[in-house]
Amino acid sequence: MRVLLAEDEVPLAKYVAAGLRRHGFAVDLAGDGASALEKCSHTPYDVVVLDRDLPVVHGDTVCRRLAGDGAHRVLMLTAADSVEDRVAGLSLGADDYLGKPFAFSELVARVWALSRRSTPARPPVLRAGDVVLDPARRLAERAGRELLLTPKEFGVLHELLAARGDVVRAGTLLEKVWDEHADPFTNAVRITVGTLRRKLGDPPVVETVTGAGYRVRP
């Protein structure tokens, strides 16, 4: 799942981004509001984690514009956490609101929750046959056997299961699971799918559709 973190405090941004990546998210960073809007104009992020007090273009303006296009879910972060501040943030179009400081586990849970509010909505636990993936608990299993997946393998399996049997292009996987620094000509998707297949075991779960992409039969 692709997330944009718009935060101008560099140490905090690096800390949050590293933590989200450990949970399987692909994370891009924006240090000001103008950069956040520019990135959102090119990339369909599942969730935008938006600091309210951004330089260049204020976070309120960013939130209002993103809410207007309806293409992104917005989780607003702010050091101000009064009831009036929360109401003001939500009235700008934010989908959720979290005050600083926050528990990292709560941030992760709220990001996953917002991703499920996309259209069509994703169930909290994804299943296909005997394969089960619980994003909130960062748990993947097959026939009751826990799968020890890397963040990229977890992300690829998540996107394939969320597609509910539809074919997912390699380019879409690269866009959703890797960040903006990924080489568009890389073979990382093919390699990751290969290692994921080995960990899933037999009978095969991930199917290659020649010339189209990959799918998991529901």
pLDDT of residue 24: 82
CB 49 within 8 A of CB 28: no
Q: Which pLDDT tens digits describe the chain residue by residue (218 residues)?
A: 899 999 999 999 999 999 998 888 889 999 999 999 999 998 889 899 999 889 999 999 999 999 877 778 999 988 766 666 666 666 788 889 888 888 999 999 999 888 877 655 566 789 999 999 998 788 999 999 999 999 999 999 999 999 989 999 998 998 889 887 777 777 999 999 999 999 999 999 999 999 899 999 87
Show the tokens assigned to 97: 């609101």
Q: Look up residue 69 and give its two tokens.
A: 């296009």
- The neighbour count for residue 18, using CB atoms within 10 Å, is 10
- Homologous superfamily of domain range 2-115: Response regulator (3.40.50.2300)
Spans of all domains in the chain? 2-115, 126-216
Please name the residues in contact with 16: beta carbons below 8 A apart, sequence gap of 6 or more. Answer: 5, 7, 49, 104, 107
Q: What torsion, rounded to 10 degrees, do the Cα atoms 95, 114, 48, 105 define?
A: 110
pTM score: 0.67
Neighbours of 20 (CB within 10 A): 22
Which DSSP string do the residues of 163-176 spell out, in sequence order? TTT--B-HHHHHHH
Instruction: Write down the architecture of domain 126-216 according to CATH.
Output: Orthogonal Bundle (1.10)
* Amino acid (1-letter code) at residue 150: T
- One fold for both 2-115 and 126-216? no
Q: What are the φ and ψ backbone dihedral angles of 157, each rounded to 5 degrees?
A: -60, -40
State the Cα angle at 214 between 113 and 20, rounded to 5°: 30
